[in-house]
Amino acid sequence: MAKILGKSSSQIISIFMLIILMMISKSTSAPNFLANTCSNNSQYHTNLNTLFRYLTTNATNPTGFHQAVSSNGNTTNEAVYGNFLCRGDQNISTCHDCVTTATTTDLPTTYCPNRKDAIIWYDECLVRYSNQSFFGTMNTKPSWIYWSANNITGNTTRFMELMSNVMNNVIAVRAATTGGSSWQKKFATDFVNYTSFQTIYGFGQCC
């Protein structure tokens, strides 16, 4: 009888020790979530969604450019400023697709969720928004530079002189005036022969 009692006592001690170990393990694990409440800037996000609709709706504008403000009637309370600019040689359909992609998925979900200002570049367009007005001002930042992986061959001094002239003295002037290839878009293109077999092509666009 005593032997059986001793075995039962050993089992009870083992169970007790197991409970203690489980309690220690549980105390160091993640807490059990019950509920939460979070404050958020719902008005700003509402205005941002409205701005995105404005931009998408106007992405068929023949000029390839549109700017808008969404403020819920109060420009000092969480207003959102935004615009898009499509490359001057893009057709309306391509422009619309580009702006739609930016405003429906890439900006709000993929690349810049929950941000108060953002800008996204594509080969076909750019889309920008901010909680601060940037209309009518020249901003050098944010910026993005894409470098070609190809090296210049031949007379590099001549190449830089020709490129600088065609970009700064021809394209920049024509894009900023009605003399450009598409004056409504402030877009101009030009080219210059670098060698008998090589040509430098360029384009510029004002926004």
The model's confidence at residue 21, banded by pLDDT at 50, 70 and 90, is very low
Give the residue among 150, 166, 149 at the shortest CA–CA distance from 158.
166
Query: In this predicted model, what pLDDT tens digit does every residue of 47-65 receive, in sequence order?
Result: 999 999 999 999 998 889 9
Query: In this predicted model, what pLDDT tens digit does every residue of 91-110 receive, in sequence order?
Result: 999 999 999 999 999 999 99
CA angle 89, 92, 98 (to 5 degrees): 85
The CATH number for 42-130, chosen from 3.40.640.10, 3.40.50.2300, 3.60.15.10, 3.30.430.20, is 3.30.430.20
Residue 64 carries which DSSP code?
S
Residue 182 carries which DSSP code?
B
Give the chain's count of helices (H) and strands (E): 5, 6
Q: Using an 8 Å Cβ cutoff, are 121 and 85 in contact?
A: no
E strand residue ranges, 22-79: 65-70
Percent of the chain clearing pLDDT 70 (strictly above):
75
pLDDT given at position 137: 84
pLDDT given at position 141: 80
* DSSP output for 135-146: TT-----S----
Residues 6+ apart with CB under 8 A from 131: 44, 78, 79, 80, 81, 116, 117
Per the listing, tokens 């109060």 go with 74
Residue 31 carries which DSSP code?
-
Sign of CA dihedral 147, 152, 157, 159: negative
Instruction: Compute the average pLDDT of residues 18-37.
Output: 52
> Which value, in Å, is the radius of gyration of the alpha carbons in the chain?
31
* DSSP output for 99-127: HHHIIIIIIIIII-TT-SSEEEE-SSEEE
pLDDT given at position 23: 52
Residues 6+ apart with CB under 8 A from 103: 52, 53, 55, 56, 127
pTM of the model: 0.72
Query: In this predicted model, what pLDDT tens digit does every residue of 112-155 receive, in sequence order?
Result: 998 889 999 998 999 999 999 998 888 878 788 888 888 888 89
Residue 15: is its pLDDT beyond 70? Answer: no
Q: Provide the CB-side half-sphere exposure for 55 (13 A, CA).
A: 33
Please report, for the chain, the start and end positions of each structural domain, with discontinuous segments joined by +. 42-130, 156-205
